[in-house]
Each structure stands twice: as structure tokens, then as C-alpha cells.
Amino acid sequence: MSESPTPPTTLPETLARLDAWIREQGLDRGEVLDPRVLSGRTAVPEGEIRALLDGAAPHEDKVDDRIRGRVRALYEACLAESGRRPADVCREVAARLGISEKWARSLLNGDKMPNVPDLTRLAEFFHIAEGTKFFTDPAEVALNGALQRTLRELEDTAQDGPLLRFTLKHGVVTLALRGKRLTPRKQEALALMLESLLSGEEAER
């Protein structure tokens, strides 16, 4: 039995493993490593994500600026995805942190620096599994963590070629099949069926 490859530990190592996997599968790098999606997962600016994916040196920044920027990015993403009013989100955050709505607004807008307890509660509010590390890790560390998770998911679905291409096309990393493996023919049939359903939904809009 062949041994599993040693897990990558640095961003260049992770990218090298991903690039090799992408070439083997004949996939498009831009679809697998979508800067917009990765920016959403890490709260790192998309431009910085693009530069790191291209091998650029990490951008030097101050921890305070990093934290405030990521809090603001999460807040803006929350508003965009939920459609809620800023006042309602600020009110809920204020209640969760035990602070005034004015102070909550300043924190969420990135104007003020949260203390450790507030940062912990903000991680809970935004459902961040990494906790405060999400806000404090340098961009290359945050991106590396997101890419390592992507690599594990992709390697787990290596046998699902047609379905993998379908999910990547529609911005989904994996498609849960309850641990089952489908034959290539069944994968093609399922992908075609799902493609047809999604195309029908687009036509009805």
C-alpha cells in the first residue's frame, strides 16, 4: 500500500500540490482557485489573494489594520448575503457584545479596534470556526488554511470526475453523496440532469 503524501505546511507547498492536482485532472486553475471565493472565505482582499496565488511576496500590514479590515469585510458580506439593514445588524451585535449601538457600528465599519472578548464574540456572531485566529492570522496563513481545506476536499473527490467539473463550474467545491461512489456513466447522467435543472431555473428568472 502506497503511503499518503506528506501534508503541505506552507502556502507555496500547498499551491504546488494544488497545481499538480489541477494539471492531473485537466481542470482550469481559475475555477478551482477562484480569488473571489477565497476572499469571501478568508476576508482577505481579493487583490491580495490574486497576488499570493501568483506567487507574490506577502503584503506587510499591521495586526490592528488586519483585524479591523476583516471585521468590516465580514460585516459587509453579512449585509450583502442576508439583505438585512445595517441598523438591525448593529443592534444585534450591540446586544451580543453588551455595548452601545454606536460603538458596535464603529467596530463593524472598521473604525475602532475590538478588544479580545469582543473579537471572540464577533467570531461567534459570524460563525467563524477558527475563532480569533481568523482575524489575526497574516494573509498568507489565512489563505494557506483555506487552500489546505480545498485540497483535502478535492483529493477526496478525485474519483468523481464529471461531478467534480460540474460542481466547480457552479461554484461548489464538493457534492455530498453520503459516502457513495458512482460510476463515470452515472456521474455523467447526474451532472447532465443537474445542469438541465439549473438551466431551467435560469430561464424562468
Residue 167 sits in the same domain as residue 132: no
Considering the chain, what percentage of its residues have pLDDT values greater than 90? 62
Whether pLDDT at 175 is above 80: no
Q: Which of 136, 167, 193 is the last residue of a domain?
A: 136
Cβ–Cβ under 8 Å, residues 93 and 102: no
Q: Is residue 51 part of a domain?
A: no
pLDDT at residue 2, as a whole number = 47
pLDDT at residue 179, as a whole number = 43
Tally of domains in the chain: 2
Alpha carbon distance 44, 54 (integer Å): 15
Q: Which of 136, 170, 196 is the last residue of a domain?
A: 136
Q: Is residue 8 part of a domain?
A: no
- Phi/psi region, residue 179 (left: phi>0; alpha: psi -120 to 50; beta: rest), is left
Cβ–Cβ under 8 Å, residues 151 and 173: no
Q: Is residue 175 part of a domain?
A: yes
Whether pLDDT at 95 is above 60: yes
pTM: 0.73
Q: Where are the alpha helices (DSSP H) in the chain?
A: 11-25, 29-32, 35-42, 46-53, 63-82, 86-97, 101-108, 116-125, 133-136, 139-156, 161-169, 184-204
pLDDT at residue 154, as a whole number = 80
Q: Is residue 42 part of a domain?
A: no
Q: Is residue 30 part of a domain?
A: no
Residues spanned by the domain of 112: 63-136
Mean pLDDT, range 103-109, rounded to an integer: 97
Q: Which residue has the cell 431551467?
A: 200
